[in-house]
Structure 1
Amino acid sequence: MPATHLEQGVDAVSERTQNRAQKSERRLAAQLAAQKAAEAKRRRQAWAGGLAGVAVVAILVTVFVLVAPGGDDETEPAAGTPSAAASPPAGGGEGVELPEGADPALNTAPTVTAGEGELSELVVTPLIEGTGPKVESGQSIIANYVGVLYGDGEEFDSSWSRGQPATFPIGVGAVIPGWDQGLVGVTIGSRVQLDIPAELAYGTEPAGGRPAGPLRFVVDVLGVE
């Protein structure tokens, strides 16, 4: 039976309705896809921003660690203090893990007194002989230390007071010359006393909070990296 005009009209309306429904579904799908794409882009941008922030912090920390303190135009090497040329590794002061076969006395902070007489050259005095390999120029050593003024024994720096040893490169000009010259060749597990004249330390005039004149350090060499 041929379709009536009414039936044809209903079919046409139904077809248009279906077409509109399909178009609406396509628009909705396109909108959802766009929203997902925008959300993914925002996440990527957030990740990129976070990574950039971490990179900036890392650069600032590196600059802080590598630049010695002081207000002079020329940067002078530090004596090994963490604020200038050292970074503390994991571990502690008393109770720190010692090298194999090391003297247990290295677990206790030394008592450092003033020197006697005039000091005109570097003097390295072994206090405890280590049994490990010798420190080589260019290595980074892990060490505990106490620093005092040679003349009166006043303490000005100590890794023990911070509760952990310090790590710093040796023999490459990153620390004062007295450390570079006095610690290269020392065996791991040793405790040595360094009596350093002013010209191999920070000079004769105080600057930037650094001690002037001859200095005395007692350094425990705990390892190398």
Structure 2
Amino acid sequence: MSERVENRTAGQAPATKAQRRLAAQLAEKKAAEARRRRQSMLGAAAGVLAVVALVGGLVWLNSGDDDKPATATSASPSAPVEPAAPPAPELPAGTDPALKTKPTVQAGSGDLKKLTVTTLVKGTGPAVKAGQTITTNYVGVFYKDGKQFDASWDNGQPATFQIGVGQVIKGWDQGLVGVPVGSRVQLDLPADLAYGNDASGGRPAGPLRFVVDVLAAQ
């Protein structure tokens, strides 16, 4: 009697087991659907964040490139530049101005059998002594054809060495001792007073001719 009064008071019919089971299934279905919607929304949000991060990274990289200095465009190739001629050597006061210019050396003639010293410009300084350190400019050519093989003028710096003590070839040791400072002399050397007749190692073989300017001695 009391149950009927309570049900009528609530305005509801008593629920059966089948109804309760159906209601539970519906509730579980709604919960599963809600979970799927949340996962879908989260996945979409993650995708948006990934795109934003990628775009931001590209913008950052491009902004970094803007800070880099632009690479200069390489200039078009030009004609090769001829090397500058070496400066004229400083000469002692009173030295003949001819010693400021590289001499032109011609080939010799005939069969050279002994050392020959020819004065081209006579200096006014003291005579060179054995054991002194002298400073020279020189041009060396092959005696037979006049082809140059060496020249201090082309190296841009005079040669300095001790004379008469075996530091240089015999023809120089013998031919330059006694020459006044400021002189230009021509030395014609047979092979035995130069480098011999063996051209191995790139040495100039055979008789040679040198034109030597004696710039200083001390």
Q: TM-score, normalised by structure 2?
A: 0.60
Once the two structures are superposed, the pairs formed by residues 47-66 of structure 1 within 5 Å of their partners are: none
Give the structure 1 partner of residue 109 of structure 2. 116
Q: How does 1:66-145 map to 2 (within 5 A)?
A: 94-145=87-138
Contact 1:194 1:216 in 2 (8 A): yes
- 1:94–1:107 Cα contact (<8 Å) kept: no
- Distance in 1 (CA, whole Å) between partners of 2:193 and 2:174 is 9
Q: Percent identity?
A: 66
The answer to whether 1:186 aligns with 2:179 is: yes
Given the alignment, which residue of 141, 147, 160 partners 1:154? 147
- Partner Cα distance (1:207, 1:133) in 2: 39
Change over 3 Å in CA distance of 1:158–1:145 after alignment to 2: same
Q: Report the structure number with the largest CA radius of gyration.
A: 2
Q: Which residue of 2 aligns with 1:38?
A: none
Q: What secondary structure is seen at the aligned counterpart in 1 of 2:201?
A: coil
- Structural RMSD (CA): 1.2
SS, match of residue 208 in structure 1:
helix
1:198–1:215 contact (8 Å) kept in structure 2 = yes
- Offset, 1:95: 2.3
Q: Of 196, 212, 216, which residue of structure 1 is paired with 2:189?
A: 196
Cα deviation for residue 208 of structure 1 reads 1.6
Partner of 1:175: 168
Q: Which amino acid aligns with 2:192?
A: E
The unaligned stretches of length 5 or more in structure 1 are: 1-91
Q: What is the one-letter code of the residue matched to 1:165?
A: P
How many residue pairs are counted as aligned between the two chains?
A: 134
Q: Name the TM-score, length of structure 1 as normaliser.
A: 0.58
Match of 1:84 in 2: none
CA contact (8 A) 1:93 1:159 kept: no
- Taking the aligned partners of 1:160 and 1:224, their CA distance within structure 2 comes to 19
Q: Distance in 2 between matches of 1:172 and 1:135?
A: 13
